[in-house]
Structure 1
Amino acid sequence: MPLSVKKGAFLIIFLDGEWLIVLEVKNLNKTYPNGKERIQALKNINLKVEKGEIYGIIGLSGAGKSTLIRTLNLLEPPDSGTVEIDGKNIVKFKEKELREIRREIGMIFQNFNLLSSLTVYENVELPLKIAKKKDRKDRVMDLLKLVGLEEKAESYPSQLSGGQKQRVGIARALANNPKILLCDEPTSALDPVTTKSILNLLKEINQKFSLTTVIITHDMGVIKNLCHKVAVISGGELVEKGEVFEVFTNPQSDATKELLLEDPFVEQKELYVSNGVKYLNLQFKGEEATQPIISRGLRKVQGVELNILKGSIEDINSKKFGRLLVELKGEEGLQGQFLEYLKENEVMVEVL
């Protein structure tokens, strides 16, 4: 059972002796010099990541994603605000304390950041050598087995594919048994097939070790397939955050809607205008996406006709999300009855 402990004005929550909130950012600000002025890269960022979560941060280029993730391990020190790991504000840490806490934070990079002069084995071993760990061989080989590269131990980065290089990067990031894994656009340099395999590996690692993971990306597919929660960043601000399914199926901010426009379901709405015919954009969430709601409605409200123009169903964080573009014909009163039936069955209806 969770145990709550008062500390000053804050309520701190533990579960089996561990913090539930592994990473918390409060009122974080970051600026960069630009001549005589300063550019605001991050504005009052507030974020909580719970133990075992995969938390995605998504935004367009220049939104502040990379700056944010680099402040989480203080590679970029913030101007103000706090970064707390297990309730400790690491912004106040001295250099020695920072070196120690960074061993608890693994990081995966967009361009792999492998040392070309070292073998796969030596790249993975490097963090262990820096930490002066003993019995490194077993640990390195266990990690290479985990990422499926046991046979590549003596190979050099130049002999590897992009996906294999990222697997080495993942193994290296896990070397010191981190509490938190930071992923900076880990699939942006990879093809779609390799991207899928890397996402599956990250998901497997999360499930096996309950490893708290923060991933930044510009790719909605990465968020939908991997993350539990998401924050949308725009102009250095977090403009929307929450459960992935809710944010993507019911977006509130303009920035989120802009991201979703990359894959519009209904294009050129002005085309769907006709006397006596209603064009409907229907959304089905969760169980409703797998139920015969339309056929039941047509049996209940006889006298209307429905023609399906377009449809799709997808998994978002293991939940179904279905969409239909349809035309509805019939008398005005019967059309109204059918629309009311859809709403009673929790179908989101947009009349175009």
Structure 2
Amino acid sequence: MTLQAFPGEAALEDALTTPSPALVADLAEGAGDLVILGAGGKMGPTLAILARRGLDAAGRSGDRVHAVSRFGDAAVRARLEAAGVRVVPFDLIENDDFSTLPDAPNVVFMVGAKFGAATSPSWAWEVNAALPDRVARRYRDSAIAVMSTGNVYPFVPASSGGATEDVAPAPIGEYAQSCLGRERVFEFGAQERGTRVSIIRLNYAIDLRYGVLADIAGAVHADQPVSVATANVNVVWQGYANEVVLRSIGHATSDVFTVNLTGPETLSVAAVAHRFGTLFGRDVQLVDEPQPTALLNDSRRCMALFGYPSLSADALIALQAAWVEAGHPISAKPTKWAVRDGRF
């Protein structure tokens, strides 16, 4: 991808949903429809459109992409339908009968509750741990790619390179604990019913409209302080993240395939903030005492299997700065990446 500032959301959406040759090659080896549960969230719409475009490029125009969500945003629904995605309005929490959901040999589970988990932990456990059991039973004969989070890992030193997939989970707080519950429930389905499962532990997707870099850039641009208590962070281009999710379906197994999904770099929050300061021509205010550990993922398995992201962290920082400077839309949903006590 040529590094040029995106002139607006249409160009950003096109970049996020253009399939790579590697994705097209993997999809050409598969068959059947794809169901995306939770397709109305932050990553879901671009993933669904990427899947549709990828299947078309792979010669699988006859296989459908079903996007399942409540779809409270009519604009999101219209965008998906215009792209050829079949929209299935369905409340996975309120409905007990999943029999009307479309059958498909390939499933992506993206439903999750994070923000508000500290004040309503029972809601987090219902969405993140109880719902997966109903989904795992409904799609027991499918291959299921399960979106999870690096929050299931313990905090590790930046010098460690991040937690590998072999590090024992040690989630902090109700949100992270319930996310580990989600993984365990799908693992149970794999062990008891032979369901093929892949688990993707993500830290943190960059869409430019939201993400860690949007949070830091927004603070610097507005002359607000940036906390460096969490001194290091991982980020990854969302277009690459979407591709890994889809490609991981081919790796799903009843032994459960697990992969960390993030970029190859461990970033210094202070260095990122200062880089934005230079690009914006602003002074940078750093606050709080840097701590020696952070939630960091080792992505070597991901890189070995799926290749490197098309956009490096340096490129993402430059694109993020241009996006903020141009006044393009920013989501009102901060990532809260700096939280250290697990309370979201």
Asked if Structure 1 and Structure 2 have the same fold, meaning a TM-score greater than 0.5 normalized by the shorter chain, the answer is no
> Which has a greater percent of helix?
2
Query: With CA pairs under 8 Å and 6+ residues apart, which has the higher RCO, 1 or 2?
Result: 2
Q: Which has the larger radius of gyration?
A: 1
